[in-house]
Amino acid sequence: MTHASVKPLTLTLGHLYPDQLNLYGDRGNIMTLQRRCQARGIELRVVGLGIGDALAPDEYDMLFIGGGQDKEQAPVAQDLYDLKGIGLWAAVEDDMPVLAVCGGFQLLAHYYRPAEGPDMRGLGVFDAWTLHKGKRVPRCIGDIALNWNGSTLVGFENHGGRTYLGTAKPLGKVLKGSGNNAEDHTEGAIYRNAYGTYLHGSLLPKNPHFADHLLSLALKRKYGGEYYRVLAEAPPASNGYSSATLPEKSGETSGESIMVTAVMEEEPLTPPSFQLAPLDDRLEWEAHAYILERLGLHHAAAATIRAHIQE
C-alpha cells in the first residue's frame, strides 16, 4: 500500500498577552516548544493575542498565557473575561492543551484578590481562587520541585498570592518549595488538557518531558485517528537533534528510523499509535538534576541522572 500524499505536521499556538504577561522569561516556554518542533520537522506557528484581539478557538492547536505584575493583570483580566473568555472556554472543553503560568494561572481560576484594589474576576476554568494576604506576608519565592506523572518538575516561583483548590486536581505534590499556598503541598491545577502552575524558570526548558507532553496532546488532538502515522527513534543528527526520512511505502522497514510525519493513507491505521521522536536532552536534564540537587533532593537527582544523562 502506498501513501497518497505526505505532508509535514503543523501546529498553531496562540500566545495570550505576550507584551503584558512575560515575567521571569516565560517567553522561553514558547522558544522551547518552537525548537522542539523544529528539531522534529514540525512547523509551529506562534500568533500573539493582545488586548482587543478576539480568540477564535478553531484557529489554534495550543494556547499559552504567562504571568505579570498586579497592575498589568487588571486590564488583562477584563479583556480575558469580556473578549476572549468564550473562545478560551470552548478551546478548553474541546481538549486543546493550555499552559497558564503564575498570573495566567490565577486568571483562569475564579478570582484573584490582590493586596490592594478590587478583585480580578477570572474565567473559572480551574475550580480555585487566589488571595494575596498583604505585603507584610512573605512571598512564595525560590526554587521548587514537585512530583508529576511518575517523574519530577522543577522551576522557580515568585508569587504573593496564595491559591486554594476546590475540586480542581493539582498539577503535582510539592517536594520542596511553597507551591500554591505554602500550606497544603499542592502545586498548580489541571482541568482536561489545561494546566495552571506557578513554575517559572522558564518551566519548559528544564522540563523537556512536560514540553513533549503538551506537544503530544496537541498533535493527537489535531491528527489522532485521522491520518497520521508516528515513527520514532530517529538517530541524532549533527546538531544533536533527531532527524530521518519517511520511506516510500508503509510496509518498508529499511532500518532507518523515521521522524514524526503526517501521512494520508489509503486506509485508516488501526489502532493509531503516537510517540514523539526523542531528542538529545542531556543539557536540559543536567539543569533539571542540578535544581533537584540544590534543593537537597539527592535521590531524585540521582534517578534523573541515571534515566536521562548516563549512557
| Pairwise CA distance, residues 64 & 202, whole Å | 13
User: What pTM was computed for the model?
Assistant: 0.85
Mean of pLDDT values over 252-273 = 36
- Residue 246 backbone class (left: φ over 0; alpha: ψ -120 to 50; beta: rest): beta
- Give the pLDDT score at 235: 40
Q: Give the active site residues.
A: 102, 200
Inform me whether the pLDDT recorded for 272 exceeds 60: no
Residue 70 within a domain? yes
**The pLDDT of residue 274:** 59
Residues near 190 by beta carbon (within 8 Å), at least 6 away in sequence: 126, 168, 169, 170, 171, 196
Give 70's DSSP letter. Answer: H
- Sheet containing 98-101: order of strands: 43-49, 10-16, 62-65, 98-101, 194-197, 189-191
pLDDT band at 261 (very low <50, low <70, confident <90, very high): very low
User: How confident is the model at residue 189, as a pLDDT?
Assistant: 98
**Nearest in space to 42 (alpha carbons), one of 212, 176, 199, 286:** 212
Residue 75, domain CATH = 3.40.50.880
Per-residue pLDDT for 284 more than 60?
Answer: yes
Instruction: Read off the pLDDT of residues 110-153 as tens digits, 9 standing for 90 and up.
Output: 999 999 889 999 999 999 999 999 989 999 999 999 999 999 99
Q: Is the pLDDT of residue 266 over 70?
A: no
Evaluate if residue 263 carries a pLDDT over 90: no
- Positions at the binding site for substrate: 139
Cell numbers at 305, concatenated: 541522572
Residue with cell 484578590: 113
Report the share of the chain in percent with pLDDT over 70.
81
Residue positions in the annotated binding site?
139
- Give every CB contact of residue 230 below 8 A, 6+ residues apart in sequence: 260, 273, 274, 275, 276
**Counting Cβ atoms within 10 Å, is residue 7 exposed (0-12), middle (13-18) or buried (19+)?**
exposed
Indicate whether 234 pLDDT > 60: no
- Asked whether residue 290 is domain-assigned, the answer is no
- Residue 47 within any structural domain of the chain: yes
pLDDT of 256 above 90: no
Q: What's residue 226's pLDDT?
A: 47
Q: Answer whether residue 184 shows pLDDT above 50.
A: yes
* Mean pLDDT, residues 165-187 taken together: 98
Output the DSSP codes for 6-55.
EE--EEEEEEE-TTTS-GGGTHHHHHHHHHHHHTTT-EEEEEEE-TT---
Closest by CA to 1, choosing from 253, 227, 249, 272, is 249
**Average pLDDT estimate for 89-117:** 96
Above 60 in pLDDT, residue 255?
A: no
Residue 270 has pLDDT above 70, yes or no: no
Reference 105, options 125, 135, 131; nearest CA is: 125
Nearest to 171 by CA among 161, 154, 159: 154
Q: Are 258 and 246 in contact (CB under 8 A)?
A: yes
Strand, helix or coil at 84? helix
- Higher-pLDDT residue of 12, 249: 12
Does residue 11 fall inside a structural domain? yes
Instruction: Answer whether residue 250 is part of any domain.
Output: no
pLDDT band at residue 1 using 50, 70 and 90 as cut-offs:
very low
Tally of CB atoms within 10 A around 209: 18
- pLDDT at residue 135 in the model: 86
Rounded Cα distance between 264 and 105, Å, is: 38
Higher pLDDT, 224 or 250: 224
Output the pLDDT for position 2.
40
In a domain, 236, yes or no: no
Q: In which residue are the cell numbers 536540559 written? A: 284
**Angle at alpha carbon of residue 195, lines to 191 and 200, rounded to 5°:** 155
Which residue, among 175, 172, 191, 186, has the nearest Cα to 126 in the 3D structure? Answer: 191
Cell of 200: 517559572
Q: How confident is the model at residue 73 (pLDDT cuts 50, 70, 90)?
A: confident
Q: Is residue 6 pLDDT above 90, yes or no? A: no
Tens-digit pLDDT profile for residues 19-48: 888 777 788 999 999 999 999 999 999 999
Phi first, then psi: give them for residue 169, nearest 5 degrees. Answer: -80, 135
Residue 285 domain-assigned (yes or no): no
Per the domain annotation, does 46 fall within a domain? yes
Output the average pLDDT for the chain. Answer: 84
pLDDT bucket at 244, cuts 50 / 70 / 90? very low
The total domain count for the chain is: 1
Q: What is residue 311's predicted lDDT score, i.e. its pLDDT?
A: 60
Range of the domain at 131: 5-212
Instruction: Answer for the pair 229, 217: CB distance below 8 angstroms, yes or no.
Output: no
